[in-house]
Structure 1
Amino acid sequence: MENTVSEPETLPESDVRFPIVLRGYDRRQVDEYVRVAEKRIDRHEKARRVAERRLAKAQVPAPRAAEPDDAAGLGRRIEKILQVAKAEAAEIREQARKEGDELRAAAEKAAAEAEAARAETELAARRDAEQIIARAEEEAAAVRAAHQAVLDRLGQIVGVVEEVRDRFGGEAEGESTGEPEEAVPSLA
């Protein structure tokens, strides 16, 4: 099998890839990687000690190195992660509540504007309908008046025709030939 672990300085830890073999990773490669990582840790530890000695000589107190994570340290880290996650969840909930309130307020405003527009449209339609009805009633009154004028004029004509018939009716009876009269006097 091919060894994918190389010199400690040439391959960053995030680029390490282990080929998958039957039932997991190749143990030799994992063991080799762990050995290389331990060497790297030893080298860094030596460099840290050297730096601490230099700092001590310079009369500058050296910062304490963090203890390697053990089970208790891991529990504290998980607890911190959970606290951060809870804080972020609370922040997300609060943001969602604010957005919901804003959306609700916008919807209520839109509903109020729609109701005002509906009322305004209804009022305008009512005014238009009243104007149309008033014009129709005026036109109907004018038509009734014209109709009445025509009826009155017809009544006058009937009266004149009856008067003419009464006046000339006697003469026409004596000379009646059975033919209708050809000329009717003017009513003007």
Structure 2
Amino acid sequence: MENTVSEPEAAPEPDVRFPMVLRGYDRRQVDEYVRIAEKRVDRHEKARRVAERRLAKAQVPAPRAPEPDGAAGLGKRIEKILQVAKTEAAEIKDQARKESEALLAAAEKTVAEAESAAAETDRAAQRDAQLVISRAEDEAAAIRATHRAVLDQLGRIVDVVEELRERFGGDTDPDADAGGESPAEPETADPVPSPA
């Protein structure tokens, strides 16, 4: 004889909550909950099939045998027993169906919430990546601007040095001066700006 559900399962909580971790739900916890919910649905489905088989067996008409005189009410009692069995089987089937529907709805809700959380996590990661890229581009632009400014200053320094060479005769090496006298002081030029 096949067993039915040994003890009634507690109905799932209507509002299952999962703790938030790193901008989403703990995927392992959600997967575990869905796995348990699927097992419950399977158990209820098996119990429903067992109840249907028992009901089908109970509905097979018994062969009609002539009733002995002392068992005149036996047929009516059997009919009552069969009616009670049918009622109980229908109740078990209805309860299993309701519990299965509730578990499936809870599992679907959990999956939808997990998918939503995963999508939000993905959007947040994309926003973070875009922010990092934007900052890196800004820093690169600042470095390029500083580089151009330094090159401009170096160009101005080279121009000043060339101008000084032209003004004082080209060779500015103090050892090349045979007279030992220092060359005349150059006119004060604009100070060379220091690199920032």
Largest Rg, 1 or 2: 1
TM-score (norm 2): 0.47
Q: Greater relative contact order (Cα 8 A, min sep 6): structure 1 or 2? A: 2
TM-score (norm 1): 0.49
Relative to its length, the structure with more helix (as a share) is 1
